[in-house]
Structure formats: structure tokens, C-alpha cells
Structure 1
Amino acid sequence: MTFKICLAHALFAAGALLAGAVPAETLADVERRIVPVAGWGGTPADAALARKHAITHITLHHQGEPFPVGKDPVQYLRNLQTWSRATKRWLDIPYHYIIDLDGRIYEGRKIEYAGDTNTEYNPTGHALIEVVGNFEDVQPNQKQLDATVDLMALLAAKHKVSIDTIAGHKDHSASTVCPGANLYHYLQDGYFRHKVALRLAREQ
């Protein structure tokens, strides 16, 4: 009888595999799907001008402008890089990662280089994540929320940063509403910290 039960379990497991059961994505998988700077046609920053830092915080931003469906995120990133360097005289795109409407994650400024900001806080030590859109006016979609959780979990694990450091731009600056009320809601009610904690627990 025991043999029959074991055989039944084995056949069930084999059936699940044949049916297309997919293993859960790991944080290593998340890292592999990040589109590097070269992948979207950007150019590397001048390392000689960079301020090196170690990550101690994870800070969420929004684009702060409309990002309609159909807008090309690659062209947006190229334009942002050009504007950041030519107009702002910054080293590079101010954010380390950018998340588009489809939940794709793009590399911006290299994570080992401190970011930049138009506000008064010092972003040294902060891993800066930008989600495209103006979340004073629109809601983030589920793909963006899921990608944000994945990326925050990856950063927390890789840089050994406490999930208690997950916050929004406005938590560090009194002169901004960034990342917008509709995205900040997910920080305020603990959604991101809770989901990141669950995501990290899956890696144990």
C-alpha cells in the first residue's frame, strides 16, 4: 500500500511538471532580467567624476510626469540621460533603477555611484528606484508594484539593508510629494515592506 501511495505521489509530481509547472523566480532571476545601460542604448558614466557610496537605504521615487501607454521607455531613458548630463550637469540619470509600465526594470546610474536630486536631501547611501508615471494623478499598475517588490527585495538581500529603511523621497525631503500619493500609499500602509519580507523569506 505504501509503495502505491509513493508511486501515486511521483506520478502526480511528474504530471505537474508535464503540465508546465514553473519554479518560483529567485532573486538571482530578478537580477538577470534587469536591462543594463548598454541594453537600452545608454552610455556609461565617467567613473572619475562619480561619488562612491555604500547602500544603506532603499528610496522610492516617481517620474512625476504622465507616461501614457505606448510611450517608448527606451527613448525616455535616452532622453533622461541626455537631459541629466547636458542640462543638470549631473554624472548620469539620477536614479539607479527605472521601472516601466510593463514592470520591466532598467539600470540607470550604476548602483555604486551616489545619486542626485533636485531637493535638499543627500542621496548618498540611497538605492534610488524610479517608477514611471505621475502618481499624484494615476494609480500604479500591478506589474509596477510587483517589479518594485522584486527589486526592493533584491537590493535588501544584496546590500544587506533592513526593510525598515524602505521609504519614499518625501520621507527624506520636506519639499516634494514624490513618489506621489497613490504610490506612497503602498509605503504608508506597509504593503512594500510586508511583500519584500515575504519575498526574502522565499529565498531562505
Structure 2
Amino acid sequence: MSLRPALAFLCCLLPLLAGALPAQAQTLADVGRAIVPVRDWGGTPVDAARARKQVVTHITLHHQGEPFAPGTDPRQYLRNLQAWSRTTQGWLDIPYHYIIDLDGRIYAGRDIAYAGDTNTEYDPTGHALIEVVGNFEEVEPNQRQLDAIVDLMALLADRYHVGLDGIRTHRDYSSRTVCPGANLYRYVQEGYFRHHVALRLAREHALLDEQQR
């Protein structure tokens, strides 16, 4: 389903949403401003001369695939991931454009203007790649992570005009992986993210309408 029919279907909810919104409800612009930039976690710029440019047409969910213990420093994890991506893999940068930690904080990874990388057979050009820390074959995502995924997907869908049917996962494009893990994959398979992204976008319209009054 494209964004336009979904939003048209939800437009009847706008008065209800507007009436239920807190005075300081977060807009998608707020979500974007809260994303931790590369410089703030200690990352270094990419060699743009080696980059493959892209136009975003898909939103694709990944998981870390390894345990991420409470108390782990996400900034150190990102520095290690950047170093491994470049040195061991020979990639331009971290393969993902955004990373979500255990607290639902969103970090910028690879510049979204450049295509990501993968060890599997699909071509990630055109995909906005989101990684959530943890191994979701073994653990469940927490609510803060789920909420952050919805906010980020809604931001990307709105910014790049990606339809709800463009929200998928790594395993939807590759037969060589179980990523993003069964416990996170079911939220895509059962429509949780598409449903909540549509609601989040309808809420955004309500927020903007309320601010303009």
C-alpha cells in the first residue's frame, strides 16, 4: 500500500488524534533532530570518492545478530563497527544508515546518500538500512526499540515518499539470512510496523494541523 491511500484512510482519525495529543508531542522533525550524529559518537567521515550514491525507495530492517548486554556503551560499539567494516570488510563505512540501541536512541551510521553493504546476495542500493542492536533469534525487542523503529520508519517514509509496502526486512531480500531474527521479524510479518507507521504519519498531520491553529 502506498502512503497516499493509507493516509487518506486515516484522515478521519485526525480530529480524534488532535484532541488526544499532549501539548509537547514529538513531531517527526523532533525525531530527526534527536538522531545522534556520527561526530558525536566518535565516528570519522567516509571517503566519498568510493561511495555509491542512491535514491531511497525502500526501508529495510536488520538486527545486530549478536548479544548486546545492558550497560554496553553504544558509542564504543559503533566505533568498533566502523573500524571492522572498513578494515576487515573493506567497506566504505558501517553498512547501516541508522542504528537503534537498547534505550531506543537512534544513531546515524553511513550517510544515507550512499548505498549500504551486505554479506548476502541482495543489492541494498535504494534501501534505507536500519539496524537494531541485539540478536532477536534469542531475545525480544523492548518497547523503546519498537517505538524508535516506528518513529524512524515514519520519518524516512515521509522524507523519501516510501510506501508502506516498502517496509521490509533483510530476510525478505535474501535466502541466506534469518536477519532481523524471528522475534523482530514477526513485527513486520504481522503488519505491526506498517500499521503503526501509518498511525504515526496520521498523528504527524494532526500535530502540524494543531500547531497551525
Common topology (TM > 0.5): yes
| Residue identity opposite 1:121 in structure 2 | Y
| Residue identity opposite 1:158 in structure 2 | R
Greater Rg over alpha carbons, structure: 1
1:93-172 maps to which residues of 2 (within 5 A)?
Answer: 93-172=94-173
Runs of 4+ in 1 over 3 A off after TM superposition: none
Partner Cα distance (1:164, 1:171) in 2: 12
| 2:62 aligned counterpart, secondary structure | strand
The residue aligned with 2:59 is 58
Write the deviation string for residues 111-152 of structure 1: whole angstroms up to 9, x where unpaired. Answer: 000000000000000000000000000000000000000000
With the length of structure 2 as denominator, give the TM-score of the two structures: 0.85
Percent of aligned pairs with the same residue?
74
Deviation at 1:203, TM superposition (A): 1.8
| Residue identity opposite 2:173 in structure 1 | H
Write the deviation string for residues 34-77 of structure 1: whole angstroms up to 9, x where unpaired. Answer: 00000100001011110000000000000000001001100000
Structure 1 unmatched ranges of 5 or more: 1-20
The residue aligned with 1:75 is 76
Partner Cα distance (1:63, 1:180) in 2: 9
Partner Cα distance (1:49, 1:200) in 2: 35
| Residue identity opposite 1:200 in structure 2 | L
| 2:137 aligned counterpart, secondary structure | coil
The residue aligned with 1:174 is 175
The residue aligned with 1:7 is none
With the length of structure 1 as denominator, give the TM-score of the two structures: 0.89
| 1:127 aligned counterpart, secondary structure | strand
| 2:70 aligned counterpart, secondary structure | coil
| Residue identity opposite 1:50 in structure 2 | A
1:182-193 maps to which residues of 2 (within 5 A)?
Answer: 182-193=183-194
Deviation at 1:163, TM superposition (A): 1.2
Stretch deviating more after TM superposition (151-160 or 22-31):
22-31
Deviation at 1:107, TM superposition (A): 0.2
Deviation at 1:23, TM superposition (A): 1.9
Partner Cα distance (1:47, 1:93) in 2: 14
Partner Cα distance (1:196, 1:156) in 2: 8
The residue aligned with 1:40 is 41
| 1:71 aligned counterpart, secondary structure | coil
Deviation at 1:108, TM superposition (A): 0.2
The residue aligned with 2:86 is 85
Structure 2 unmatched ranges of 5 or more: 1-21, 206-213
Partner Cα distance (1:185, 1:175) in 2: 18
Using CA pairs under 8 Å that are at least 6 residues apart, name the structure with larger relative contact order, 1 or 2.
2
Partner Cα distance (2:63, 2:47) in 1: 25
Deviation at 1:22, TM superposition (A): 4.0
Deviation at 1:30, TM superposition (A): 0.1
Alignment size in residue pairs: 184
> Aligned-pair RMSD on alpha carbons?
0.6
Partner Cα distance (1:80, 1:22) in 2: 39
